[in-house]
Structures are given as structure tokens and as C-alpha cells.
Structure 1
């Protein structure tokens, strides 16, 4: 892509969704893929670099993201098989996951056309792709804002203390981090999230956003911190909610002209009013996502 765009690095897969009752469904998913999907639907130029098989599931995922205006190169369809995540829903609609994954990062050029580079979740920890992602994000900092969502997956990330070492490497690379309170609790063995958020700011992150499910979210920046209640909404399920929130954060920062390496100082000095705008946008998008089944973020015209 030659126009200014978002570069999203990470897993795209099939969510095998198992409800409490009714039929099992196979739905395209993957945390970074859902972030890309959100940006595409909000009208942003976005490229997803994933690792899919050239099989029926891989083509289903490719068609799905491309239908939401996400650019996905055919070079991403070279895996031996398409990865899956078995998502089992509980009575509240929350999902627990079991994974069958293979992850490598295809060759990914980074140049001045990349305005923002994002990754997170499994793509940053599962090798060999995890190390490739870290190196690519470090290269991207020359041109782009770097955003990151740790998105803990205990069933495949192994020892949380070891996983947190990689998290901190990515935190040190990132300008913006979105993380849930549950993620922080798992990675740090219970260190309070306000303490962790402030530590990350001291490491150089400009904006840390901690989501807390039905308890809303908190944003931390150099200018202070701000607590935002959750929007009132009937929850169908939470699949993709955090990812659509992340995509909407990137979209809002884009609107505020705070993305790109040349705007790093402006992002570091983000104001309370700008944070309020970012969080309102993100809460609105994620509220729509949880109100319907699966990772199905809204299009711009729906907001």
C-alpha cells in the first residue's frame, strides 16, 4: 500500500464458537484481525499481515476481512493450515478459548506509508512469529505510532512471568497500550492495575488504557488519569469487544492527528479533552460489538 495506512500484524483464524445451547458456529476471528476489521469498517486504510492456510477456512477468513476493506496480501496464505480458536461461551456470553495455532510473520516491508503499526495477543508471544513481530514494530517506530494490546491467553502463553518479559519488551516499543485488568492480573500475579499503568508510563508509553469489562475503563497519560463508566447495553457476547475498542482508539487518534512518528511529542502531551474523545469513540464502538453475536464491529454509518 502506498497511501498512509495502519499496519496490523498478527493472527487471523477461525473462532469455533460453542454456545451453551444451539449449534456450533465457525466465524473468522483473531485479535489483530478484529482490530483491522474495525478500522476497515470505520473507513481507514488498513493492511493485515497474517498467516493463513490456502484452504477453505483460510479463504473464509480472507474473504471476510477483505469484505470490510482490509488489504490482505496473498503472501499471507502460505501456512500449512488455518489456525483455530475454540471459544466456549458461558451464561454471561463471555468466551474462554482453546487454540490450535501456527504463527509466522510473512516478510513485512515498513516505510513512511505506515502511519500506525499494531500488534498484540498470540502474535507477540508464539514463536517464531513473536520475535519477528517485535523486530518489525521496532523498525516501524521510525515512521509510525506503535500500539499494543497484550491480550493474555493463559492456555498457550505458558508461564506468566516469562510471558510478562515479552510484554515489557513490547511496552518499551509502544506509544499506546490497551490492556484489560484481567490481563494485568494474570501477567503480574495480582499487582494492582493502577500501579502497572503508571510503571508503563514511566517506561515511555504515552497513553495506557485499562478496560474493566462492565466496570468501564481508565485512561492514564502524563496529564493525569480519567475513569470512564461502561455504556449501558444488553450483552449478547463479548467476542471481539476488546479488539473493536482497540481499533476505535486508533481511529480516534487518527482523527485527532496524533498518529505518525512526527506527532509523537503531541501524543505524549495528549490532553484531557483528547482522551475524553478517544474513550467516547472506543466505548461507543465496543458497545455495538457486544450487542450482537461474534466479532462484528460497527460500520461508520452505524455509529
Structure 2
């Protein structure tokens, strides 16, 4: 099945405690597209890029990884994020971002590549005007399956209720959902993350995964619940760890459940869910062990199991 990733791309300006500064391509959906390509898929990435140097850098990065790119050019400068790496490798972000995607551009990409699996989330799922294009597209008949990662950025959300409405629309359409415990704390304050994931299953997804950082991850589905601890690793920084996890989740879920000849999907067994989570936490561990959002290749992931 073809895979379409839609969402923001930006240039990460990364500074660490030693004073090193580097400009590297990033953005959660862009990182997922790169991760999928490195795992052997050929994703198409639909994004908003300006015709500037930063945009060309991002385009070249994605294409060199093996992703096809459909870029909507506007006069707006390509978005940036300033990532500051603190003690222990944790990253904090400050964004200068715009998200502008027309219904026509996304509909054309889906019509060209469908039936397909569509991945959406992060800033693009809640920031207007592009969020409405995603909400409309995911209901189309050529979207055979969908994955969603809310990847909440509270500092960019000025209308909480509107953002929650967009998140819930995606939850009700998605087949696969991945959310961090921090995402869930923003969406459902004060609630136990695994209990929230159980409620989300009733909205429509067949698989909901909750990541707990260094504590591991839960997967919930018709198979029940599966927990896998995180891998022990020396952390360089956490940039892109969740996106590498998401790439492995999409690739593995499609491999286990997708009949590509029919464009249909099935259900995971408990054993498959556990194997899938092991791959996901391993992909994240590889990424945090090196600088920046550098998801593993298929060979690296296989060797690290």
C-alpha cells in the first residue's frame, strides 16, 4: 500500500550545552517520512515549503532519504524551530511556523497515490488553515487506513477547544494512534494515560500506543494490552525520538496487517503487537543515541534487536 505523510517541515536550529549550533531539517511529519524511507518504504510527503534556501535544504534531505515530496510553495518563509538541548539530552523548542495547505493540493496527492495509508499529526493537524484540509481529506474513499500522532505543542495552540476538536476528529478516523504521556496530559489532564488510551480505542482505532519516555511503551488493541520497556542507551539528545518510534510503528503495522493487493487491513495478534513495540522502542533508542533526528535504517534496526 502507498503511504502518504502530510504535515509540517521546518529547519531545526539546534544548540546544546557545549555551545554547538547546527541547522538541520526537521518537523515531526518530515522526520516520519524520512524514517519510513530508511525502513524501506517509499513514502510521499505533502508539505508546505517556501522557495528559499531552507526549503531547498529540507527538500534535498527528504529526497536523499528516498521520500517523494509534494511541496506547496507560498511566499511565507520556510518554518524554523529553535531546539535547545538541556541536561540529559532533553530538547525544548521555540517555533516560527506557518502551515498553509490547500484542499486541492492534498486531494490531488491522494488521487494520484490512492488507495493509501495516510499519516498525519503534530502541528499540522491543529494549525489553520492547513488543518481543515487534513480533516476533509481523511474522510475520502481513497484513504484506506490512517495513523495519527497528536505530538502536542502547547506553545503554538491559542484555541484549546478548537485544537481538541481537531484531535478528536483524527482520533475517530485513525486506525493507529501513538501519543506520549505528555500529549495525553494536555488532552486529558489528570487522567491515567493507559486508561485514556482504552477510551480512545472505543472511538475507532484498532491500535493505540502510549509512549512513556524512558519507562517504555504500552500498546492496546483487540489483543488486549502489551507493555515493552525502553532500551537502555546513553542519550545524546531526544530530538526525533518519537518520530522514529512512529515510523517503525507505521512500517511494522502495515507489514503485519496490510493486504496491499486489496488495500485492506486486519488486526494484530498479541505476539505481533509485542514484536512491533520492540521495534519501535529500539528505533527510538537508536535515535536518542546520536545527535539530531536521525532515524535508523532497516539494517540498523534489525542489527539492534
Counterpart-to-counterpart distance in 2, 1:159 and 1:77: 27
Report the 3-state secondary structure (helix = DSSP H, G, I; strand = E; otherwise coil) of the residue aligned with 2:248: helix
Deviating 4+ runs (over 3 angstroms): 111-114, 159-162, 259-262
Within 5 Å, give how 1:123-162 maps onto structure 2. 123-139=124-140, 142-162=142-162
What CA deviation, in whole Å up to 9, does each residue of 1:60-90 have, x standing for no partner?
00000110000013x4333521000111111
Which residue is 2:245 aligned to? 245
Q: Paired residue for 1:280, among 278, 281, 284?
A: 278
- SS at the partner of 1:72? strand
Residue 296 of structure 1: aligned partner: 294
On the 8 A contact 2:227/2:274 being kept in 1, the answer is no
Q: Equivalent residue for 1:218?
A: 218
Question: How does 1:160-171 map onto structure 2 within 5 Å?
Answer: 160-171=160-171
- SS for the counterpart of 2:196 is helix
TM-score between both structures, scaled by the size of structure 2: 0.92
Following superposition, the deviation at residue 228 of structure 1 comes to 0.9
Structure 1 residue 114: Cα displacement: 4.0
Which structure 1 residue ranges, 5 or more long, are not aligned? none
Count residues in correspondence.
295
- 1:199 aligned partner: 199
Shift of 1:23: 2.4
Q: Given that residues 7 and 114 in structure 1 are in contact (C-alpha distance below 8 angstroms), is that contact kept between their aligned partners in structure 2?
A: no
TM, length-normalised to structure 1: 0.92
8 Å Cα contact 2:116-2:142 kept in structure 1? no
User: 1:34/1:83 Cα in 2 relative to 1: closer, same or farther (>3 Å)?
Assistant: same
Partners of 2:2 and 2:43 within 8 A in 1: yes
Q: Does 1:62 align with 2:65?
A: no
| 5+ residue gaps, structure 2 | none
Query: Is the aligned partner of 1:20 residue 2:21?
Result: no
Which shifted more, 109-118 or 38-47?
Answer: 109-118
Contact 1:216 1:230 in 2 (8 A): yes
2: CA distance, partners of 1:259 / 1:127: 34
Asked if the contact 2:114/2:142 (under 8 Å) is kept, the reply is no
Distance 1:257 1:188 in 2: 30
Q: Is 50-59 or 154-163 further displaced after alignment?
A: 154-163
Deviations 1:164-198, CA, capped at 9 Å, x for gaps: 22211110110110000111001222221122111
In structure 1, C-alpha distance between the alignment counterparts of 2:217 and 2:290, rounded to whole Å: 21
Deviation at 1:276, TM superposition (A): 1.3
Report what 1:118 is aligned to: 119
Q: Give the Cα separation in 1 of the matches to 2:263 and 2:4.
A: 17
> Is the deviation greater in 114-123 or in 15-24?
15-24
What is the Cα-based RMSD across aligned positions, in Å?
A: 1.7
- Structure 1 window deviating more from structure 2 (152-161 vs 13-22): it is 152-161
Tell me what 2:73 maps to. Answer: 77
